[in-house]
Structure 1
Amino acid sequence: MRAVIFVAVLATIAAGKARAQDAAAGEKVFGMCKACHQIGENAKSAVGPVLNGVIGRKAGSVAGYSYSDANKDSGITWDEATFREYIRDPKAKVPGTKMIYAGLKDEQKTNDLVAFLRQFDADGKKR
């Protein structure tokens, strides 16, 4: 009986820690990205490229943005797993990138950021 209660308590704790992706929370996380990136229908490249439709896009492919050779030549197509690895430590994933961000280590914030980014198609329209 104690084992059943113990397992139930552990399951409750784990469920509280693992919450689903939250696009609204991801928009708040994106606040730190805004220093360099834009997203949405009127987005323009700035210090960093526009992030419209980033999940599913080939790295180094936003027209008019001056990418590092490392990024252009990386061969990456941004799927969720690759983006997560990159955003955790950009310089480790793409040595030579000019992105100067130290990385997002919090898995939940990364989940939320991905949910936020996934809302925007390549034209910046919300899906």
Structure 2
Amino acid sequence: MNEVTLNGSCLCGAVRYEVTGDPQRFYHCHCARCRKSSGTGHATNLMLTDARLVFSSGEALLKRYKLPEAERFARQFCSECGSAVARVVPELGAVVVPAGSLDCPAPIQPQARIFWDSRAEWSCDDRPLPRYAEYPPA
């Protein structure tokens, strides 16, 4: 087991968590559910097994939405700012961490893009795009 401890928080900083476990999977998911829940072309999630999740602040602000028809798709977020935060997924015996909520470096690199065939046409193809350190010039 490669146990690590990670810290994260929501955008407004009210919800803070610590998760300890074994990082197993790190995916960019392009499925429609992840696109809808993130508002972007994909969601990037880190999954830890044999994990413990503790909220050091803001636990009372947490809201959870479980898609009724989905076997295991759920979302946990801060009710103040709407940011997704780590959540326990009992069906997998794991904790799923939205990578963007981490306040520390991820312990592993993304391993795959999943549900690639259902990605949005405009999202993450092989076309090169310009890169800017900040906003592009006007």
Q: TM class by shorter-chain length?
A: under 0.3
Higher helix share: 1
Per the normalisation by structure 1, the TM-score is: 0.23
Per the normalisation by structure 2, the TM-score is: 0.22
